[in-house]
Amino acid sequence: MNVLIINCGSSSLKYQLIDSESEKVKAKGLCERIGIDGRLIYQPAGGEKEVTEAPMPTHTEAIQMVLDALVNAKTGVMKSLDEVDAIGHRVLHGGAKITESCVIDQAVVDVIEECCDLGPLHNPANLKGIYACQKLMPGKPNVAVFDTAFHQTMPTKAFMYGLPYEYYEKYHIRKYGFHGTSHSFVSKETIKFLGLDADNSKVIVCHLGNGASISAVKDGKCVDTSMGLTPLEGLVMGTRSGDIDPAVVEYICNKENKTVSEMLNILNKKSGVFGLTKGLSSDFRDLEDAMADGNQLAADAIDIFSYRVAKIVGSYVAAMNGVDAIAFTAGIGENAPLIREKVCEYLGYLGVKIDAAKNNSRGKEVVISADDSAKKVAVVPTNEELAIMRETAALVK
């Protein structure tokens, strides 16, 4: 089965064509500057990357260019679009109504539209991708894989905020969590990689990238996660503040004569390690280089980030009354031995010991805990496209 994976942003679109039997990527690429001048990047498996500059007024034209590339006579990987068996869409927010991946029908579209207030940047773009695929490939099954779905197994005690209940009733204000596709994939891979019992396991997944979140997964089900109503809650991130005292918003608005919207923009785009280092960088590779050169702000930002990760890991050990394994994933989690080392230094009370030689690896699946460590710690690379493909293939077989 050939599954086309579509991940739409407001002005961009990432795609992969994956064979569900072999799980091999046949082609992949990116559409950029949709609605502006347009650029298609296309790369068939084993082939050279091709770049085409062409107008893409909407996502429909962008997806049409993707489909044309996949079947072009010279470097295409299919003879016709009949060979596409299903389309899997990454969708940001399904609210509380959708708790798992599903074949898209009008009822699903309605829920995605209802959740546009909760995901104003992503949900409308996700819908554009769905509409375009329905128009260009009528009759092909489309599947929505939601970023929030994996976390909808959280109990009430984990997802409710201490606000007047009427706001939950009227506006569905609660914790939803994000990066669900990654947390689902990595928790399952960790269980398999470490030989744990899926029905009797306690795993903590640290998805650490420019956006970062942590999940507590008990017996294969999410019981808590660090992001909330929006991706702003939780860890200090690349440009997001993470958890702060809510009164900070009013305080700075009054002092700086800013609106709440302006303040939220600062919390989302100008804070995190970027803000802590006075705009030096949101990239941890730059921060590590700066720290090595004696930059104290960079060193402090790395310490703050690592400390926050360790605090949430510790709270999830308490929430699950134990832990069997801790997994690091995503850009920082997979490629920053220093961050993993600093986080695990706080976990000595669990009997965690890190093997320095094993930890000195990047981008590959590996156990980094020492042989005599009381808990397993591993690096488990995420693959959200593969996860979306698996979910899609399982629903349309």
**Which is nearest to 337 in space by CA: 328, 348, 350?**
328
Residue 11 pLDDT exceeds 90: no
pLDDT (average), residues 324-340: 96
Q: Which residues are annotated as a binding site for substrate?
A: 90
Residue 10: its pLDDT value, please? 76
Residue 179: its pLDDT value, please? 92
Residue 387: its pLDDT value, please? 93
pLDDT (average), residues 48-75: 92
87-126 pLDDT tens trace: 999 998 988 888 889 999 999 999 999 998 888 878 998 9
Q: 3-class SS at 15?
A: strand
pLDDT (average), residues 333-357: 97
Give the torsion sign (CA, 66, 71, 77, 79).
positive
CA distance 392 to 304: 39
CA distance 341 to 379: 12
Residue 119: its pLDDT value, please? 81
Contacts of 130 (CB under 8 A, 6+ apart): 89, 104, 109, 112, 142, 144
Residue 120: its pLDDT value, please? 80
> Which helix (H) or strand (E) is 331 found in, with range?
helix 330-335
CA distance 344 to 348: 7
Query: 16 - beta bridge partners?
Result: 5, 28
Q: Which of 147, 197, 224, 355 is catalytic?
A: 147
pLDDT over 90, % of the chain? 87
Residue 96: its pLDDT value, please? 82
117 has catalytic annotation = no
Query: 359 - beta bridge partners?
Result: none
Eight-state DSSP code of residue 360 = S
Least confident of 17-21, 119-123, 130-134, 347-351: 119-123
Tokens 């940001």 appear where? Answer: 92
Q: Which residues are annotated as a binding site for ATP?
A: 14, 207-211, 283-285, 331-335
Q: Give the Cβ contact number of residue 50 at 10 Å.
A: 15
Q: Which residues are annotated as a binding site for Mg(2+)?
A: 7, 384
Q: 3-class SS at 158?
A: helix
Residue 342 pLDDT exceeds 90: yes
Residue 289 pLDDT exceeds 90: yes
Residue 36: its pLDDT value, please? 84
Q: Do the beta carbons of residue 208 and residue 218 sit within 8 Å? A: no
CA distance 231 to 96: 16
Least confident of 124-128, 351-355, 358-362: 124-128
213-224 pLDDT tens trace: 999 999 999 999
229-264 pLDDT tens trace: 988 999 999 999 999 999 999 999 999 999 999 999
The mean predicted confidence, pLDDT, of the chain is 94
